[in-house]
Structure 1
Amino acid sequence: MKSTGVVRKVDELGRIVIPIELRRVMEIEIKDAIEIFVDDDKIIFQKYMAQNACAITGEITNENKTYGDGKFVLSPKGAEILLRELEEAK
């Protein structure tokens, strides 16, 4: 696990503010869902990704397809974006 050096206090309602720098790095936008896990004495926050949501666009459509033995989901638009970026990287 990587330390960020950021320390925040819990307010009287149990809230914690996630610093803007971390939200930018993790691409967490206003109203994004955050999934919470507990591992022994650790609380882990992760940006929630709905099942069958495109890894690139976040879209959930009937046209989404799963790749890499079910580890990667792409919508048609997401596949197009990824393909274009791969072509540009050549």
Structure 2
Amino acid sequence: MRKSVGIVRNLDALNRVILPKSLRDTLGILPHSSVEAFIDGDRIVLRKYAPGCVFCGQIDGTSLFRHKPVCGTCRRELAQLSRERAPASR
């Protein structure tokens, strides 16, 4: 969902733009946070950086496993592999 917030900023002499505090607060972007830039047609999209799954790169639906982001699909695949490789009970 795209929503205009009515804020316009000019580029400075070094072609930088400052994100207003209200936007940073809304998105939880703290000082020294990372943001990602994407091109969507003729638009530049910025979003708060969230590392993707260490296996497939998927960004949505990740949770940390041993301090690494892993998506649900890869978690299920890893669980299946683990079950397949587990020694059979005697």
Bin the TM-score by the shorter chain.
0.5 to 0.7
User: Aligned partner of 2:13: which letter?
Assistant: E
**Separation in structure 2 between the aligned mates of residue 17 and residue 65 of structure 1, nearest angstrom:** 29
Equivalent residue number for residue 7 of structure 1: 8
Alpha-carbon distance between aligned partners in 1 of 2:66 and 2:23, rounded to the nearest angstrom? 32
CA distance in 1, matches of 2:69, 2:13: 44
Residue 35 of structure 1 corresponds to 36
Percent of aligned pairs with the same amino acid: 32
In the alignment, structure 1 segments of 5+ residues that lack a partner are: 53-59, 71-90
What SS class does the counterpart of residue 43 from structure 1 fall into? strand
Structure 1 consecutive aligned stretches of length 4 or more whose deviation exceeds 3 Å: 63-70
Q: Is 1:24 equivalent to 2:28 in the alignment?
A: no
Post-superposition shift, 1:50? 1.6
RMSD: 2.8
In structure 1, what is the Cα distance between the partners aligned to 2:7 and 2:13?
20
State which of 50, 59, 66 in structure 2 corresponds to 1:62.
66
- Residue 8 of structure 2 aligns to a residue whose secondary structure is coil
- Number of residue pairs the alignment of both structures matches: 66
Residue pairs, 1:42-53, within 5 angstroms: 42-52=43-53
Q: TM-score, normalised by structure 1?
A: 0.60
Which stretches in structure 2 are left out of the alignment for 5+ residues? 54-63, 75-90
TM-score under structure 2 length normalisation? 0.60
Residue by residue, what CA displacement relative to the aligned partner does 1:39-85 show, whole Å, maximum 9, x if unpaired?
11000001001235xxxxxxx66156756546xxxxxxxxxxxxxxx
Per the TM alignment, residue 15 of structure 1 is displaced from its structure 2 partner at its CA by 0.6
